[in-house]
Structure 1
Amino acid sequence: MDTESLMLSLELAAGSGQGLSPDRRAALLTSLLLVKRDYRYNRVLFWGRILGIVADYYIAQGLAEDQLAPRKTLYSLNCMEWSLLPPATEEMAAQVATVKGRFMGDPSHEYEQTEFQKMSSEGEKPFEEDVVVQVKEETRLVSVIDQIDKAVAIIPRGAFFKTPYGPVHVNRTFEGLPLSEAKKLSSYFHFREPVSLKNKTLLEKADLDPSLDFLDSLEYDIPKGSWSIQLERGNSLVVLRSLLWPGLTFFHTPRTRNHGYIYVGTGEKNMDLPFML
């Protein structure tokens, strides 16, 4: 959710239990404005909170003028002091793939896990040996945020537009989706570089507007049924909740610009979802 409308966005998302105390809200509003100024970001989003045993991680993201450019992620333990996280890599994802359980809330905490690695010595055949590997919680935090972003960060159709030269900008003329369209999964896109759109045929792309339909639609998400759509506040608010990453809530007020998403959860994926549908 955009920090420029943080208070309103938190109120709209409060129906899912994603609220913050008044002192946390005030601290966020002040500190994120300073983050935007100091790091010279075009926009700053309050991403959400990952719940830890000792402390919680408050997450924010800085965006460049091109809205689809790689986002800079920051975390804080007190909503005042922010630290920049390194970019996510495939190597990080491989390191934390087997780490399970709750976050501790300490970036310097190290998880110990046993991995099978191929060992070899001169004149002998390669053999596998158990090796104890230590993974920092900060590495896990980076990887989990990246996974959530790629899987469930979403925007309504028309909120952004793609210029003929490639960059993606905020659509200042966007006035919200009509209620009839806001109830459809096809009206929402993943807020990341498209994956499945590149595999569509020219015939399938014939009816798409290249300036608006340049992202992957939620209606093709696998497993099917991984999103819950509900109307709240007398049909004046549309809320989408992810069943794959419990804790992710997206909201949109039809016929207004108000939209955003927030994640408040333990950072654990619901691996049993395909068996629950």
Structure 2
Amino acid sequence: MDAEGLHVTVEYLSNSGVILSPEQKAALQISLPILRSDHKLKRVKLWGKVQGIKADYFIAHGVGEDELKDRKAVYSQDCLLWVLLPFATDEMISNAAKLMGRFTGDPSFINEYKYIRKTGDGETMQEESVTIEMKEEDRLAAVVASIDQEVSVVPRGAYIKNPLGGVRMNRSFEGLSIAECKDLSNFLHFREPQLENNKNALLSIDQSLNFLDSIEYDLPKGCWSLQFERGSGMVVLRSLIWFGLVSYHIPNTTKYGYFYCGTGERNNDLPFML
């Protein structure tokens, strides 16, 4: 959610369990504009809150010229002082997916995961114990990157791709209609496209608006819950894979966004729950 109008957006998502104390909202409204100015960012968006045992992590995204590629993730535990998150590599994301349990709230805490690795075949097969160690700050960066990759959602047409390949906010976007909000195909993953027809398509007028992947193809089927709230005044999408991820859009307006408020644990049992 955008830092501007933060108090209004939090009110939109209060029914989904997104609650910030008056002190936290006041601190965020002071610190986020300073963060944007100090780092010379175009916009700053409050991404969410990862709940820890001893303390929580507040996450924000700083956005540069390209809305999709020029993004920096920062975190804070007091909503005032912000620290840059490390860049999440593929190895970090893979290791973080193996770790179990809650975040402690201590960025320097070392998480450990032990498993048995088998090498060779038949009589030559050997087993060895392998220990993966990962600092909680690195795990946090990997979880944020995984959530961005899997469940960050925006309405169709909210962003536009220019002929040079840059992604910008679409100033002509006027919002989805109520009828369009009922269809999952009108909500798109805000990430680099992965479907072949989007990755390799030549940029045209139509493709400049429809260059992102639709969530209607997400697996397993039923991993998204779509509901209308306030009558038909707001549509809310909740991820069942990453509990706590809430995406919202107010039909026929430019108001939309997403926010994560959870423990940072992926629901890998979802295929067996549906």
Structure 2-normalised TM-score? 0.92
Would you say 1:233 and 2:230 are equivalent positions? yes
14-23 vs 93-102, which moves further: 93-102
Q: Which amino acid aligns with 1:31?
A: S
Q: Residue 173 of structure 1 corresponds to which residue in structure 2?
A: 172
Contact 2:73 2:84 in 1 (8 A): yes
Gaps of 5+ in 1: 120-124
| Partner Cα distance (2:116, 2:229) in 1 | 50
Contact 1:237 1:253 in 2 (8 A): yes
Would you say 1:93 and 2:96 are equivalent positions? no
Residue 175 of structure 1, CA deviation: 1.4
Gaps of 5+ in 2: none
| Partner Cα distance (1:230, 1:97) in 2 | 29
Change (3 A) 1:201 1:145: closer
Residue 48 of structure 1, CA deviation: 0.4
| Partner Cα distance (2:9, 2:248) in 1 | 8
Would you say 1:55 and 2:55 are equivalent positions? yes
Q: Residue 213 of structure 1 corresponds to which residue in structure 2?
A: 210
| Partner Cα distance (2:238, 2:261) in 1 | 11
Contact 2:47 2:259 in 1 (8 A): yes
Residue 94 of structure 1, CA deviation: 2.9
Q: How does 1:84-163 map to 2 (within 5 A)?
A: 84-116=84-116, 127-163=126-162
Q: Secondary structure at the match of 2:86?
A: coil
Give a deviation string over 1:78-123, Cα, whole Å, max 9, x none: 100100011110121233232101110100011122244689xxxx
Q: Residue 122 of structure 1 corresponds to which residue in structure 2?
A: none
Q: Residue 265 of structure 2 corresponds to which residue in structure 1?
A: 268
Q: Which of 247, 262, 267 is the matching residue for 1:250?
A: 247
Q: Residue 44 of structure 2 corresponds to which residue in structure 1?
A: 44
Contact 1:197 1:216 in 2 (8 A): no
- Aligned Cα root-mean-square deviation (Å): 2.3
Residue correspondences, number: 271
Q: Residue 17 of structure 2 corresponds to which residue in structure 1?
A: 17
Structure 1-normalised TM-score? 0.91
| Partner Cα distance (1:96, 1:167) in 2 | 30
Contact 1:197 1:215 in 2 (8 A): no
Q: Which amino acid aligns with 2:194?
A: V
Q: How does 1:61-100 map to 2 (within 5 A)?
A: 61-100=61-100
Q: Which amino acid aligns with 2:41?
A: Y
Contact 2:161 2:208 in 1 (8 A): yes
| Partner Cα distance (1:129, 1:4) in 2 | 53
Identity of aligned residues (%): 50
Q: Which 4+ runs in 1 deviate beyond 6 A? A: 199-202, 205-208
Q: Which amino acid aligns with 1:5?
A: G
